[in-house]
Structure 1
Amino acid sequence: MDIRHFKTFKSIIEEGNFSNAAVKLGYTQSTVTSQIQQLEQELSIKLFEKIGRNMVLTSLGKELIPYANELLDMVKKIESIGKYGDKITGELKIAVPESLMSYKLQKVLALFKEKAPNVKLSIITLNCFAIRNILSMGEVDIGLMYNVVTQNDNLTTIQLADFNLALVCSPLFQQDKLDLCKPNQEINTSLIINEVESIYRKILESYFHDNNIKLNNTIELWSIEAIKKCVASNLGISFLPRFTVEEELESGKLKELKVGCSDSKITAICAYHKNKWISPAMSLFMELVRDNFNIVDNF
């Protein structure tokens, strides 16, 4: 089997289609198609099928993904022998939720760029459940997220820090008339929050459900900065990690509301697949994360 065929297969998965993979790899589309056909013949399975105008992974193609990732990871390890010295090269793919990306990782990323300028760094922002899933599939090297990992996810995790949450509103909000610790009530305001898989949204909505507290609307936004501006404009209330709203609370742009789940915490972790080879780039990045979160134990 030709390792290049597995690289082409992985590129199609990452890029979404044959033509984009061809551009990334510097091949013609016919070369990509030919390599996949050869791989299918060697494995005696069908990896893609044509649905309408799109080539879609078959069930066996999906099963091949983690094996292909593991194979290519081992190839990287072999290719790296004796090559690094004082210079770290290669690629590093990281997945992280927006809150950690925007408020906790800027120093880490700046130091990493300084210490490893030759590493091609790729970062995607996703919710924690999506990060867990792509880590389990081997599609990224490292995930920094809040802990939603189970024992069956085949991931190695390192606890970084616990973070408090805060329910916030505009100074114009009539908070004196509101008691969110009181059950069985309907509140005439909107909850402005991240998408439904947000871990802190799940905590607040679970509390509201258990205590029969109903708000009249939910405004779903992907940007924490947009959420904070909407709340400051008195369009509703929001429940966010405290570190994302500390500046606004200190300046008076936002006020904090008491709620029965205010003592809830979310735990930030660093995670990677248990079979993942720890490349020099991964090792450096995790060391910087450890230092940033003041973690004493080694990864």
Structure 2
Amino acid sequence: MELKYLNTFKIILETGSFQKAAEYLNYAQSTVTFQIQQLEQELSVKLFEKIGRKMIITQAGKDVLPYIDAILQSVQQLENYGKDMQQITGTLKISMPETLLTYRMQPILRAFRQQAPGVKLSVQALNCYTIRNQIVNGGADIGIHYDVGGYGSTIMIEKLATFPLALVACPALGKQDCDFIKTKQRKSVCLITNDRESIFQKMFDNYLKEQDIVIDGIMELGSIEAIKRSVVSNLGIAYLPQYVVEEELENGTLKELKTGISDKKITAICSYHKNKWITPAMGLFIRLLKENL
């Protein structure tokens, strides 16, 4: 059995399609298809089935996944046996939301690169619920995200830090639009977000619903920085982790609006699959997280 076939199977699951796996591996798509066909013949099971235009993993594929993970992890253990941190190699796949990646993670990434220069870091900025699902299906080695619950017995989690949330606006915003305490309001202000499904956006949406506060519209932008610039320009309001807007609150380009939200905090956690071997690279990254986040 070819190890590269097992690796290709994993890359398909991680990237979401045969085509994306081929691009990641620098293969022709026909090569990816051939390798999976060969693996299916050797295992005497169907690993993927076509539903519509997508190739979906079968139940048999899900059943053999833990064994494939164990083989690939054992190979990585052997490759790094006896090496110190400066010598270890491999890839560490990490997923986290954009807020943490942009505003809290730079010192940790820098320290990791200095201590484990031979390890290739693959970092994705994703929604917290998507990250949770990635950890379940093996799409990431480590998830760093806000606690959204629903982990079941297969995911190990470690608490990292708790962050306050803040509703922010331009200081020039009209007095009436700044009131988010009074109930039963119809407001002309626009809410600016980069992800309607983020945990803190859902918290704010629930508060508005409870208070019967209806806002004029939603503006979805591609980045947190774009959101901040738009709020500074008085295009709307935003509900964000406070550390994201600390500088703007201090220099007065943004102001915090009062709300009646009882729990204005979110907790960042580190998650990984319970069956995953904690590689030296994973162990180092988790330690740096605990020390620096």
- TM-score w.r.t. structure 2 length? 0.90
CA contact (8 A) 1:187 1:215 kept: yes
Residue 45 of structure 1 aligns with which residue?
A: 45
What aligned pairs does 1:56-205 form with structure 2 within 5 A after superposition? 56-60=55-59, 63-64=62-63, 66-67=65-66, 68-84=68-84, 86-152=86-152, 154-175=154-175, 178-205=178-205
Tell me how far 1:27 sits from its aligned partner. 5.3
CA distance in 1, matches of 2:127, 2:64: 22
Over the aligned positions, Cα root-mean-square deviation in angstroms equals 2.3
Residue 212 of structure 1 aligns with which residue?
A: 212
CA contact (8 A) 2:155 2:273 kept: yes
CA distance in 2, matches of 1:85, 1:99: 29
Residue 296 of structure 1 aligns with which residue?
A: none
Which amino acid in 2 is paired with 1:59?
Answer: T
**Which deviates further from its counterpart, 156-165 or 56-65?**
56-65
Q: 1:212 to 1:66 in 2, by over 3 A?
A: farther
CA distance in 2, matches of 1:182, 1:254: 22
CA distance in 2, matches of 1:85, 1:245: 36
Tell me how far 1:8 sits from its aligned partner. 2.0
CA distance in 1, matches of 2:258, 2:46: 57
Please list the CA deviations of residues 199-256 of structure 1 after superposition, one character each: whole Å capped at 9, or x if unmatched.
Answer: 1101111001111111010112231111111111111111110000010011111011
Flag structure 1 segments of 5+ consecutive residues without an equivalent: 294-299
Which amino acid in 2 is paired with 1:60?
Answer: Q
Please list the CA deviations of residues 106-162 of structure 1 after superposition, one character each: whole Å capped at 9, or x if unmatched.
Answer: 000111111111111100000100000001111111111101132415111111111
CA distance in 2, matches of 1:40, 1:180: 58
Which amino acid in 1 is paired with 2:82?
Answer: G
Which amino acid in 2 is paired with 1:48?
Answer: F
Tell me how far 1:23 sits from its aligned partner. 5.8
Q: Does 2:274 align with 1:274?
A: yes
Residue 245 of structure 1 aligns with which residue?
A: 245
CA contact (8 A) 1:69 1:139 kept: no
Report the secondary structure of 1:234's partner residue.
Answer: coil
Q: 1:116 to 1:255 in 2, by over 3 A?
A: same
CA distance in 2, matches of 1:92, 1:71: 17
- TM-score w.r.t. structure 1 length? 0.88
CA contact (8 A) 2:96 2:131 kept: yes
CA contact (8 A) 1:163 1:265 kept: yes
CA distance in 2, matches of 1:246, 1:153: 37
**Which deviates further from its counterpart, 174-183 or 226-235?**
174-183
Which amino acid in 2 is paired with 1:154?
Answer: T
Identity %: 48
CA distance in 2, matches of 1:182, 1:212: 9
Aligned residue-pair number: 292
CA distance in 2, matches of 1:232, 1:201: 19
Flag structure 2 segments of 5+ consecutive residues without an equivalent: none
CA distance in 1, matches of 2:217, 2:64: 41
